[in-house]
Amino acid sequence: MSLKRQLEGIPGETFNYIKNNFTAGEIAQMTADVAGIFDPTPVSDGAGALIGLARGDWLSVGTSLLGMVPYLGDAGKVGKWISRGGKYMPIINKLAKYSNIKRKIAVLSQTKALRATRKEMWENYQRYKRGERCAKCVEAARKMNLPAGGRWAGEPGNSKWFPDANSNLKPDMQKLINDKGGVPFVEGMPDYSNFAVSLPGGGKTMPFEMTRGSGDIRKSFTQYKDMLQQTGKYDEAAFARLTDTHTWHHTPEGMQLVPKGLHNPTQGGPPHVGSRSWLGWSEY
């Protein structure tokens, strides 16, 4: 079943479950709990939904209850319901499923948009190199932060990059890059997949919905930590070891943890277009 169809079925399932398994008094208590579980922004809509349920006014509920779903990110806030277990758990599970599906759809849409952004920036950069000085050409050239040193296996910015022997990269990092056959660049952006470490939650890429301001590394770490805590896969010691030597690299597909020395140009890593440039691009 498609993500869209799964998403469409959850509101009705959730509301029917509440209707058939909770008394008006319990629903009223759920309403009282809302302020202690969810962030302030969606409380009025969420409380309104629960009050509508308590009154038996199912048609007025709509999807307002699901407006609270994005605020389920902090596992501690739903602890009150989780601790009750029993018939509350299916609600948590349905809302979590809804939130996860919405997130997958958002990330898929974002990936498509960021790939299109990368392509458009690259095409306008090529126009700039041919002598055109349109506004987008100049903007793309300003943002296209390609390495000035090192050598390219082919077209600069669209092939593999290798460091110079006299690069200020540490010897072990130079060896790592050479052993892995260089750093691939695609349309001006490095692909560090071969250098990324396996994440505690599984895989090498964490799907990440990027918004203006989300390029802040501390926020990225916090979001990932919160996500792992929800899955029960968070290991403080293991995470601390990783973040001591690695940092986040944002890609159209999500985030990867890569060696700091490779990612940081001040340590000899190849300069590259970052998430802030993506978000600042006029077409994003």
Orientation angle between helical segments 89-129 and 135-143, nearest 10 degrees: 110
Give the model's pLDDT for residue 32.
56
**pLDDT at 153 (0 to 100):** 96
pLDDT at residue 24 in the model: 73
* Domain assignments of the chain as residue spans, ordered by start: 3-104, 145-280
Residue 233 contacts residue 91 (beta carbons within 8 Å): no
Work out the angle at residue 226's Cα, subtended by the Cα atoms of residues 259 and 84, and round it to the nearest 5 degrees.
155
**Run of H or E including 220:** helix 217-231
Residue 177 CA to residue 172 CA, distance in Å, equals: 9
Q: Say what the pLDDT of residue 235 is.
A: 72
CA–CA separation, 278 and 284 (whole Å): 7
Interatomic CA distance for residues 151 and 144, integer angstroms = 17
Per-residue pLDDT at 44: 42
Strand-pair partners of 185: 190
> Mutual orientation of helices 3-21 and 43-54 as an angle, nearest 10°?
50
CB 196 within 8 A of CB 278: no
Q: What is the pLDDT of residues 180-207, one digit of tens each?
A: 999 999 999 899 999 998 877 678 887 7
Low-confidence ranges of the chain (pLDDT < 70): 1-4, 7-8, 11, 27-86, 92, 95-96, 98-100, 103-104, 106-107, 201, 208-221, 223-224, 226-234, 274-284
What residue has token string 């302020």? 35
Nearest 5°: the CA angle 160, 200, 238 is: 105
* Residue among 276, 280, 277, 271 nearest 156 (CA): 271
Which pLDDT score, from 0 to 100, does residue 1 have?
A: 61
182: left (phi over 0), alpha (psi -120 to 50) or beta: left
Give the pLDDT confidence score for residue 204 in this predicted structure.
85
Distant-in-sequence, close-in-space partners of 244: CB < 8 Å, separation ≥ 6: none
pLDDT at 90: 78
pLDDT at residue 2, rounded to an integer: 66
Are residues 236 and 229 in contact, defined by beta-carbon separation less than 8 angstroms?
no
Task: Check: pTM over 0.85? Answer yes or no.
Answer: no
pLDDT tens digit string along 231-281? 666 677 777 777 788 888 888 888 888 998 888 877 777 877 766 666 666
Looking at residue 219, its pLDDT comes to 64
